[in-house]
Amino acid sequence: MEAYPAVENHGLIGDLQTAALVTRDGTLDWFCAPRFDSPSIFGGLLDRQRGGHFQISPCDVDYVSRQIYLPGTAILITRFLSADGVGEVVDFMPVAGAVATDHHCIVRMIRVVRGSMRFRMDCQPRFDYGRRPHTVDFTLEGTVFRSGDLTLTVNPVRRDGMLLDERDFDHDEHGGVTATGVLRQGHTGGVVLHTQSPEPPRVVSPAEVLELYEQTREFWRRWLGGSRYTGRWREMVERSAMTLKLMTYAPTGGLVAAPTAGLPEQIGGERNWDYRYTWVRDASFSVHALLSLGFTAEARGYLDWLTERIRDAEQSGESLQIMYRVDGSRELGEEVLPHLEGYRGSRPVRIGNDAAAQLQLDIFGEAMNCLHLADIEGLPSSYQEWRNTTKVLDWLCDHWDQPEDGIWETRGGRQDFTYGRLMSWVAFDRGIRLAQRHGRPADVARWTAERDAAYEQIMTRGFHPGRGAFVQHYACDVLDASLLAMPTVGFIAPRDPMWQSTLRAMDAELVSDSLVYRYDPEASPDGLPGAEGTFTMCTFWYVQALAESGRLDDARLTFEKMLTYSSHLGLYSEEIAPSGEQIGNFPQAFSHLSLISTAGVLDRLLDAER
């Protein structure tokens, strides 16, 4: 097992309730169960010694590895090539369905396609982020790891005389199990992992594994067949769509920002957050991306999740929270795991997220824009949903004009952030449109007055004459890439001189060889030490801004450059370091949904130019 593989050297598999990451050397080093936001069972991504892992790779031979997805699916194939043979580890999770369950399955199928190859399996679970001990029950039919009320069952895949029979297994002092065995061309072996298996351990036949493989393959290909995207970047767009699907918690429709926690925004730094939750902002943006591809069922699922959160906020008398657990609960208390060294020494490792208590006014605009776009696509709100929505906007009338924490969740104190005001304008504007489109009851006169007040405030206080640009907040002259959304949401015309000068200022200060920083933390202290990389979503937003401003050649070149920063599997984390490596939690929903939306905008404008 290599020490801390690069973040981008992982593939993602999942069953629509949780997910796992697998490295290019066949190590499963991140898996939480039974949900995305549950404690880890394998967490070697955050501590190679204490976190736990499950590696399957060749032994006693020199090899090179390659990793691909089976086309049109979320089935991950890690290939090992040597002079004596070519072997593959095929990883996938059969879809768990829309009913929440503690039973999840990971299939690790081994097959040899040329010659022969000896494989070694090393299964080292560490429950509850490595904090809870476990016992091991080994039988001739398989192994059961127990920690409290959680079990992990490892069933061998074999037929008589094949890989991993009872003579191949060995125990170690760390509570793990290892095994070795030889596979020859045409043979299939491996293991099937179950959490909370309803059955005792048993030997699984290759035929059973192949049946699960075919069922999973057909699910993904059937789902992807619903995409209506036919543009220039189909492969990348479809991979991004599948990645978003993998990060959706099917029982509620909530989309996690990323399936990981604690991956640093700066190697060795402190900006290490837990992203395994559903942000109102991220998921609202996803509705636009999914609807543009024709995935109305997924968009409807998130709308149901959002309207339930709006209803809960109205019934409890509390405001809409910026993020929730995947089941919709509000408790996300942050804690540090001091026993974990963190990815490549990046401490502290945090789980939970105290930013949930922040006031971020922009989420109201993103939520209302989401409802507006869904309505246009034939997904209108019900009577009760509309009543709850009007109460949210009435609340915003009283609260939008105050300091807040901002989109980037800074911890340096509240400010009058321009982006928060911008999205408050969006919230009122979209609410007015929805009310007038359907003749629904609403205090449109008040919403209109507040919308206009927000507009005038941004134009008079958010634009810094000395910089010739819209700035991060009213008390500074700092540029902020979140304002790239201004023309996209219709606040300002893309050819307006005030916007053109803002874009030129961002070109000069925030853009580095097409990659875009969120802001300069030295110029605008955010309460956190260290720096960060360029923000992938902001780069895609920059492409849209270039395209809408008439700089189509620049936009296409920047977009094509950005595609070269993806992983070997077409995946993106949150940020890109100056060295070009991916950093931050991985893969990141923001990055993939903005790729989808940007590809659609570029396709439309390039087609119109012809």
pLDDT tens column, 383-419: 999 999 999 999 999 999 999 999 998 877 899 999 9
What is the distance between the alpha carbons of residues 234 and 465, in angstroms, rounded to a whole number?
A: 42
**Among 407, 531, 403, 373, CA closest to 481:** 407
Within 294-382, residue ranges assigned H as helices are 296-316, 362-376
Across the chain, mean pLDDT equals: 94
Q: What is the pTM of this model?
A: 0.96
With contact defined as beta carbons under 8 Å apart, do 601 and 547 qualify? yes
Within 60-205, residue ranges assigned H as helices are 127-130
Residue 600's alpha-carbon distances to 440, 552, 573, in angstroms, are 32, 13, 21
Residue 8: DSSP 8-state: T
pLDDT digits (tens, 9 = 90+) for 307-317: 999 999 888 88
| pLDDT band at residue 230 using 50, 70 and 90 as cut-offs | very high
| pLDDT band at residue 480 using 50, 70 and 90 as cut-offs | very high
pLDDT digits (tens, 9 = 90+) for 37-55: 999 999 999 999 999 999 9
What is the distance between the alpha carbons of residues 40 and 260, in angstroms, rounded to a whole number?
A: 10
Residue 283's alpha-carbon distances to 136, 299, 324, 383, 559, in angstroms, are 40, 9, 11, 23, 23
pLDDT digits (tens, 9 = 90+) for 250-298: 999 999 999 999 999 999 999 999 999 999 998 888 888 999 999 999 9
pLDDT digits (tens, 9 = 90+) for 563-586: 999 999 999 999 999 999 999 999
Q: Any idea how long the chain is?
A: 610
116 beta partners:
184
What is the distance between the alpha carbons of residues 535 and 168, in angstroms, rounded to a whole number?
A: 47
- pLDDT more than 90, % of the chain: 88
| pLDDT band at residue 524 using 50, 70 and 90 as cut-offs | low
Residue 138: DSSP 8-state: E
With contact defined as beta carbons under 8 Å apart, do 3 and 35 qualify? no
Q: What is the CA radius of gyration of the chain?
A: 25
What is the distance between the alpha carbons of residues 386 and 369, in angstroms, rounded to a whole number?
A: 14
Query: Judging by beta carbons within 10 Å of its beta carbon (0-12, 13-18, 19+), is residue 388 exposed, middle or buried?
Result: buried
Per-residue tokens: 263: 């991956």
pLDDT digits (tens, 9 = 90+) for 437-472: 999 999 999 999 999 999 999 999 999 999 999 999
- Rounded mean pLDDT, 21-35: 98
Within 351-464, residue ranges assigned H as helices are 362-376, 383-399, 418-438, 444-457
Q: At what angle do helices 536-548 and 552-563 cross, to 10 degrees?
A: 160
- Rounded mean pLDDT, 172-198: 90
| pLDDT band at residue 164 using 50, 70 and 90 as cut-offs | very low
pLDDT digits (tens, 9 = 90+) for 597-610: 999 999 999 999 87
Q: Give residue 526's pLDDT.
A: 65
- Rounded mean pLDDT, 354-371: 96
pLDDT digits (tens, 9 = 90+) for 110-147: 999 999 999 999 999 999 999 999 999 988 789 999 99
With contact defined as beta carbons under 8 Å apart, do 244 and 255 qualify? yes
Q: Give residue 160's pLDDT.
A: 44
Sign of CA dihedral 374, 376, 382, 384: positive
What is the distance between the alpha carbons of residues 372 and 314, in angstroms, rounded to a whole number?
A: 20
Rounded to 5 degrees, what angle do the CA atoms 38, 44, 46 make? 75
Query: Judging by beta carbons within 10 Å of its beta carbon (0-12, 13-18, 19+), is residue 498 exposed, middle or buried?
Result: middle
Q: Give residue 609's pLDDT.
A: 84
Q: Give residue 174's pLDDT.
A: 76
In the chain the domains, ranked by start, together with CATH numbers, are: 10-224 (2.70.98.10), 234-609 (1.50.10.10)
